[in-house]
């Protein structure tokens, strides 16, 4: 697998981007990120990095990526690497990426953006804001973004406009979109260049608040629970993963893989939520049919319901396998473990288990309905044979030639 292409900031955003100073409410333009000079910091600045928000929408059963590239003149996005040695963590079909116009919030913050199209029907809108400031200001930014800023409506509008152009590439588009959001705070430089252990020892409270989006200091138990969900590959990097946000202390190149795996985990969660709702509705319709009775004649109605249920079972099984196997990990065990941690924190295994249980229930109901239909059909066939025999006997006793 080829080495990743690293841009001026992670995820392919341009090198010239506005930097939000966390010690003020104004937006200034800085030099090329992410390699700022220490002397270029504003007075009192101790943290530099980027804040990201991922808004994801489940828009269709499938997106034909080749068609998207042709329609939108977009490019493929391959999974990055954590380390320089060749690894084998790759997308089965890399998502297609398109640049977006900058998004300006009511606060004056100017965010760079991009949109990604995944073959299993998910669209991801990503906004990024480079920052520099102190820890308390970063805590305030995290809380404001996670709880007080309406990114969903802005991202939804952008996705709608883009998909109008890409509509021919959508397979079975959905009218109603499920959505997921996730926040990533990537710190690439801290004054004094502390190790991850030193950083958590000194700023562990702030890191926990950033991951949770809280401005108040958390309890010791909650803080410990948050900081336990962390991983490091080198002595100078760390990723703290939460259910709604993550804190990364790493270089731009090092954080790239973690960001993409977090994005993939959330897209999986979105897909399994969709399948869970789909199966819930389908099972409800089956129970409604069964409530109408399973008498000999009522069982004939079960054939159509069983056929419809079986079609849904096959579709969901195929689609879940596609979403579940979109990334393959061969030899890159760190990425595999990082993905497993991220998926567990956002709830992918929980929804996957729910879907599997409903698939098992649907399979049992399908077999039950098919058995009931076969019994009813066998009864009718036997009844027809008996009737024919009776007719033959009647004709025989009357002296007519049997049928």
CA distance 170 to 168: 6
| Amino acid 9: pLDDT | 35
pLDDT of residue 289: 76
Q: Kindly state whether residue 55 falls inside one of the protein's structural domains.
A: yes
Residue 1 confidence (pLDDT)? 35
d(CA 59, CA 45): 41
Residues 47 and 178 in one domain: yes
| φ, ψ for residue 2, nearest 5 deg | -75, 160
Residue 382 lies in a domain: yes
The parts of the chain modelled with pLDDT lower than 70 are 1-45, 74-90, 293-301, 303, 323, 326, 329-332, 373-380, 382, 399-403
Residue bearing tokens 């090198």: 15
Q: Are 90 and 38 in contact (CB under 8 A)?
A: no
Same domain assignment for residues 298 and 357: yes
Question: Would the pTM count as exceeding 0.85?
Answer: no
177 lies in some domain: yes
For residues 35 and 8, give the distance between their C-alpha atoms in angstroms, rounded to a whole number: 8
Q: What is the pLDDT of residue 196?
A: 94
The total of other beta-carbon atoms located within 10 Å of residue 160's CB is 13
Yes or no: say if 135 and 47 are a contact pair by the CB < 8 Å rule. Answer: yes
pLDDT on residue 383: 72
Tell me, yes or no, whether 399 lies in a domain. no
What is the Cα–Cα distance from 203 to 393, expressed in whole angstroms?
Answer: 96
Pairing of strands 47-63, 170-190: antiparallel
Question: What is the C-alpha separation between 210 and 331, in angstroms, rounded?
Answer: 32
* Same structural domain, 165 and 51: yes
**Same domain for 197 and 301:** no
Residue ending a domain, among 211, 235, 264, is 264
C-alpha to C-alpha distance for 94 and 73, rounded to whole angstroms: 15
- CB count within 10 Å of CB 50 equals 27
Whose structure tokens read 């809108």? 125
Are residues 83 and 122 both part of a single domain? yes
Same domain, 286 and 202: no
Residues 152 and 65 in one domain: yes
The DSSP bridge pattern shows strands 122-133 and 18-21 to be parallel
> Are residue 125 and residue 176 in the same domain, yes or no?
yes
pLDDT at 89: 56
Query: Measured between alpha carbons, how far is 251 from 236 in angstroms, rounded to an integer?
Result: 9
pLDDT digits (tens, 9 = 90+) for 94-151: 899 999 999 999 889 999 999 999 999 999 999 999 999 999 999 999 999 999 999 9
Cross-strand pairs, 248:
186, 239
Q: Is residue 2 part of a domain?
A: no
Beta bridge partners of 65: none
Asked whether residue 96 falls in the same domain as residue 213, the answer is yes
Containing structural domain, residue 341: 266-394
| Beta carbons of 88 and 331 less than 8 angstroms apart | yes
Same domain, 290 and 246: no
Question: In the structure encoding, which two tokens stand for residue 312, read together?
Answer: 């849904």
* Structural domain ending residue among the three candidates 264, 285, 310: 264
Residue 400 maps to a domain: no
Q: How many domains does the chain have?
A: 2
Q: How far is CA 297 from the centre of its chain?
A: 45
Spatial separation of the C-alpha atoms in residues 58 and 52, rounded to whole Å? 20
In this prediction, residue 368 carries a pLDDT of 79
Backbone dihedral angles phi then psi of residue 90, each to the nearest 5 degrees: -145, 155
Could you tell me if residue 127 is inside a domain?
yes
The answer as to whether 403 is a domain residue is: no
Examine the domain organization and report whether 132 and 241 are in the same domain: yes
Residues in a beta bridge with 112: 128
pLDDT at 399: 66
Residue ending a domain, choose from 227, 242, 264: 264
Q: Are residues 131 and 169 in the same domain?
A: yes
């Amino acid at each position: 697998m080829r080495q990743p292409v690293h841009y001026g900031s992670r995820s392919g955003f341009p090198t010239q981007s506005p930097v939000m100073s966390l010690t003020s409410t104004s937006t200034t333009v800085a030099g090329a990120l992410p390699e700022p000079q220490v002397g270029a910091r504003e007075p009192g600045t101790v943290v530099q990095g980027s804040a990201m928000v991922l808004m994801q929408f489940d828009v269709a059963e499938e997106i034909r990526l080749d068609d998207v590239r042709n329609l939108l003149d977009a490019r493929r996005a391959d999974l990055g690497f954590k380390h320089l040695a060749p690894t084998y963590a790759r997308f089965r079909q890399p998502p297609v990426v398109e640049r977006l116009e900058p998004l300006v919030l009511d606060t004056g913050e100017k965010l760079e953006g991009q949109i990604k199209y995944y073959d299993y029907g998910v669209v991801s809108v990503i906004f990024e804001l480079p920052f520099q400031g102190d820890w308390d200001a970063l805590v305030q930014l995290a809380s404001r973004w996670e709880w007080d800023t309406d990114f969903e409506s802005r991202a939804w509008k952008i996705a709608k406009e883009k998909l109008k152009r890409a509509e021919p590439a959508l397979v079975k588009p959905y009218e109603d979109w499920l959505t997921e959001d996730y926040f990533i705070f990537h710190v690439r430089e801290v004054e004094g260049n502390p190790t991850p252990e030193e950083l958590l020892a000194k700023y562990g409270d702030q890191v926990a608040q950033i991951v949770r989006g809280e401005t108040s200091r958390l309890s010791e138990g909650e803080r410990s629970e948050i900081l336990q969900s962390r991983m490091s590959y080198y002595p100078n990097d760390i990723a703290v993963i939460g259910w709604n946000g993550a804190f990364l202390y790493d270089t731009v190149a090092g954080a790239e893989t973690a960001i993409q795996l977090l994005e993939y985990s959330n897209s999986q969660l979105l897909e399994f939520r969709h399948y869970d709702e789909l199966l819930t509705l389908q099972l409800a319709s089956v129970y409604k049919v069964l409530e109408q009775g399973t008498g000999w004649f009522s069982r004939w109605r079960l054939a159509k319901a069983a056929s419809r249920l079986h079609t849904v079972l096959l579709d969901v099984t195929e689609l879940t396998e596609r979403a579940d196997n979109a990334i393959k990990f061969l030899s890159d065990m760190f990425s595999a473990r990082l993905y497993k941690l991220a998926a567990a924190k956002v709830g992918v295994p929980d929804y996957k288990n729910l879907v599997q249980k409903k698939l098992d229930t649907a399979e049992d109901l399908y077999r039950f309905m098919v058995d009931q239909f076969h019994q009813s059909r066998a009864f009718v066939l036997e009844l027809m044979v008996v009737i024919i025999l009776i007719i033959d006997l009647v004709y025989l006793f009357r002296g007519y030639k049997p049928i």
